Amino acid sequence: MTAPRSGDPSGTSPPASAPVLPPLRIGRRVIESPVVLAPMAGITNRAFRRLCREYGREGTALGGACGASSLYVSEMITTRALVERNPETMRLIEHDPDEYPRSVQLYSVDPATARAAARIIAREDRADHIDLNFGCPVPKVTRKGGGSALPWKRDLFRAIVGAVVEEGGGRDIPVTVKMRTGIDADHLTYLDAGLAAEQEGVAAVALHARTAAQAYSGAADWAAIRLLKQTVTKVPVLGNGDIWSADDALRMVEQTGVDGVVVGRGCLGRPWLFTDLAAAFAGAPTRVTPTLGEVADTLRQHTLYLVDFYGNQEHACRDIRKHIAWYLKGFPAGSTIRSSLALVDSVASLDELLAGLDRDAPWPGEPAEGQRGRAGSPRKVALPEHWLDSRELSEEHRRSIAEAELSVSGG
């Protein structure tokens, strides 16, 4: 595929300077561009990861780097569903033949199930990297003590992390942790959890600098990322939150001293952000400014990759619908075409609608930049009853979480 054209608005590109950051080391894995694609449910499937990888490689070429461009993590996988070999879950952990490192994110509230899932991944050679989810703020997860609620229980957190690190270690599979700052402003957990994860042998720690109560609202607290970096000193620390552009990523590094960044909503409808990020961290000034025609070509390619992923054109078209507004953000596409694209049901109908766009329309600049995806609003976090009474796991909670994963759908 052909990447959108790159360059600065003046049409000239100053020479690249020295790299901003060295390659990111996750255990023995070396990630040339210190960027991680955050797991996003219903988004970071094999099709989208393929698209992002292709653009990431464009960026490493522009920046003069080589090798693995970034680390692209799968959707969140429930450990119970993996252990039970749920068919959809087994499909979600599949990777492209050229995908390396193969990365899987696991969700668990039970150390024994987490260990069993990690053992499957290790013994069956299903991934080269495991990330553990302790950041999900979704009520159906937190009300069972999972996701961003779990680090509050220090013993449970250590038990899960330690079990997965031990299983991964036998096959040289590094384990990382992704978390939030805490449940809410009065119940912060990130410093304790970061140190505990480091002591249990993780290869890196990533912090989304919002609480579960914030969900995706408000501003990410980059000062918390800086403090975590100052506290966790033996393994890389990665920052996540409010990275909408390569310049945002550079500012985060400057302000926090992190070893790399994790990008989520910023790449929605904009996989070429990985081109920008790879070039920026390599010290190159180049940024991608696609025309509407180039965006349309990318949208179409994304759809074709989804057809391959699902093996079903209709399912692929239903999936691509949620990406339409993100791809067209800021462009003069017109309400009629936008609404028709949101109902597209075949590649042929997609092609017909895309043909009606003004392919020469230039990158709109500011209107296409900034926040993508829903921010939501602050809320009270759903938690198990009496969850906040103690930092240690009670027998009552120990019994209740044994069934917690059953309420989180496979994958």
With beta carbons less than 8 A apart as the criterion, state whether 79 and 113 touch. yes
CA atoms within 13 A on the CB side of 128: 16
- The CA distance from 334 to 135, in Å, is 37
CB 279 within 8 A of CB 289: no
| Structural tokens at position 12 | 């000239």
Please state, in angstroms and as integers, the Cα–Cα distance from residue 49 to each residue in 36, 45, 46, 392, following that order.
11, 6, 5, 38
Quickly tell me which residue has 């969140």 as its tokens. 76
Q: Is 317 a catalytic residue?
A: no
> In the beta sheet, which residues pair with residue 25?
30
Q: Which of helix, strand or coil describes residue 121?
A: helix
Phi, psi (deg, nearest 5) at residue 150: -65, -40
Pick left, alpha or beta for residue 74 (phi over 0 → left; psi -120 to 50 → alpha; otherwise beta).
Answer: beta
**DSSP assignment of 154-205, as one string?**
HHHHHHHHHHHHHHHHTTT--EEEEEEEEEETTEE-HHHHHHHHHHHT-SEE
Task: Indicate the residue type of 203.
Answer: A
- Strands 187-188, 175-184: parallel, antiparallel or unpaired by DSSP? antiparallel
Distance CA 322, CA 343 (A): 10
Check 52, 66, 136, 317 and give the catalytic one.
136
Contacts with 336 (C-beta within 8 Å, 6 or more apart), sequence order: none
Distances (CA, A) of 200 to 173, 175, 176, 207: 14, 10, 11, 17
Question: DSSP 3-state assignment of 240?
Answer: strand
Catalytic annotation, residues = 136
